[in-house]
Structure 1
Amino acid sequence: MKIKFISYLIYYFIRLINLTYRYEFVGLDNKKKARAYHPKGAFVFAIWHQNLIPGILAHGDEQYTMIISESKDGEIVAVTCEKLGHKPSRGSSTRGGKKALIEMVKNVKSGIPGALTVDGPKGPAYVVKPGVIELARLAQCAILPMSPYTDRFWVIKKSWDQFRIPKPFSRVVIALGEPFFIDDSITKEKFDLVALEIAKRLHEGEEIAKSHFKT
């Protein structure tokens, strides 16, 4: 009961603060490319964990599927995401991960785009884990790097990734990078190279987003 109460408070806070944000997208053609790769238009967003809030809120009423931890904190996030219209798959790298991945693959194959915090849930920050690559391989969908940035945000300094919360009335720029198309025959040896390239494009995307505040 307490978890649901907290979830509702967070949900209404997020909905309220989101009304004040001004979103701008860079690279929407890359989203079209990613959709075109899948027969039902699905793909999976790759995003750093610290940018989770603008990453979830920037897409209006579009529904996404995502893996969320089975912990108590994860329950709060899951209920909040469900209230926002998304479809959580419960699990993590330490508990229930395989079940959650299978469920998420099923959702993506059905046409629901996915979103993964590629360095989550516990880091290390800015290190892409193989889950997003495996998801794209199994679902035969593209990986679309997403780099949100705002110049006005709170930072939770005690968090492992310096989690960011955009301040009210912020301008949020969402940079979408060139998509990755993962072949079903990709070898485990190439996973590390792809992970490094995803990280590179996420960092490049943030620099592109930042540059829009200088013009």
Structure 2
Amino acid sequence: MVRVNKPPKKIGPAQKFARVLLSEVIQLYFWIMNTLRFKNHLDIEQPCVMAVYHDELMPIIHYFRNQGITAIASQNHFGYAIAKVMERYDYEVALGSPSRGGKDAFFQLLRAARKGKTIAFAVDGSRGPRHEMKQGAMILAKKTKLPLYLIRASYDGWRIENSWDKSKFPKPFANVSFTYERFAMEDYADEPDIEVALLAAQTQLSNLQIDDYQAP
């Protein structure tokens, strides 16, 4: 059965207010992230497609602020709120998820990539499973012939236990270190099954650093 994307939800005044309030809370946290100390830098080609895990997004978003990056966020309250804040830092944000607006969001990313913009992709979003890479970033890199970079971030932070991805928010003045590698898409140019390349990229991304999440 073909999955049909649902139209954007209509929301009332109370929900609109909640989104505004949430965006201001996120903005406050973005200001706090100005204290982060980056121990190394990402020496990557641009434009490119960056593949990251959803729970490690926050310091990566902060690192690439004001660089005209295009990203994707879910069509839920948190997605809308963080998109509003990211747009204040020169991000272009496409709103969509597998169940709602996903096709439109992907084509927005595709258009941005073809205009020479770098794309940031949380490869296990928007619902998980956690640290399980989906096809989106790889398909985008393949269609646009942009290099695909796999990026991890290591830092001291607080875990949100009740979130599907166990999101990790960096503590003030935390040291942030990146580990990253370019994925050799050219090695799979003649491979008809994208799942073969996807599994290799998933393994490479996971092996960049040890997952420090421990269930309570």
TM-score after normalising by structure 2 = 0.82
Could you tell me whether the CA contact under 8 Å between 1:78 and 1:88 is conserved in 2?
Answer: yes
Query: Aligned partners of 1:176 and 1:25: how far apart in 2?
Result: 11
Q: Which residue identity lines up with residue 11 of structure 1 in the other structure? A: Q
Q: What residue is the counterpart of 1:192 in the other structure?
A: 195
1:5 aligns with 2:21: yes
Could you tell me whether the CA contact under 8 Å between 2:65 and 2:89 is conserved in 1?
Answer: no
Root mean square deviation, CA, Å: 2.3
1:206 alignment partner, SS class? coil
Q: What residue is the counterpart of 1:25 in the other structure?
A: 40
1:67-100 deviations in Å (ceiling 9; x for gaps): 2122222111211111121000111111111111
1:10-68 deviations in Å (ceiling 9; x for gaps): 113212x212111123662xx1xxx2xxxxx4111100111010121123432211121
1:135 aligns with 2:135: no
Q: Which residue identity lines up with residue 161 of structure 1 in the other structure? A: D
1:88-124 deviations in Å (ceiling 9; x for gaps): 0111111111111111011011111001110111100
Could you tell me whether the CA contact under 8 Å between 1:140 and 1:184 is conserved in 2?
Answer: no
Q: Map 1:107-146; keep pairs closer than 5 Å.
A: 107-146=112-151
Q: Map 1:15-54; keep pairs closer than 5 Å.
A: 15=31, 17-25=32-40, 28=43, 31=44, 35=45, 41-54=46-59
| Paired residues, number | 196
What residue ranges of structure 1 are gaps of 5+ in the alignment?
Answer: 36-40, 211-215
Query: Aligned partners of 2:95 and 2:64: how far apart in 1?
Result: 22
Change (3 A) 1:183 1:80: farther
Most deviating of 162-171 and 69-78: 69-78
Q: Which has the higher helix share?
A: 1
Query: Aligned partners of 2:174 and 2:197: how far apart in 1?
Result: 33
Q: Map 1:51-70; keep pairs closer than 5 Å.
A: 51-70=56-75
Identity in percent: 24
Q: Which residue identity lines up with residue 166 of structure 2 in the other structure? A: Q
Change (3 A) 1:60 1:101: closer
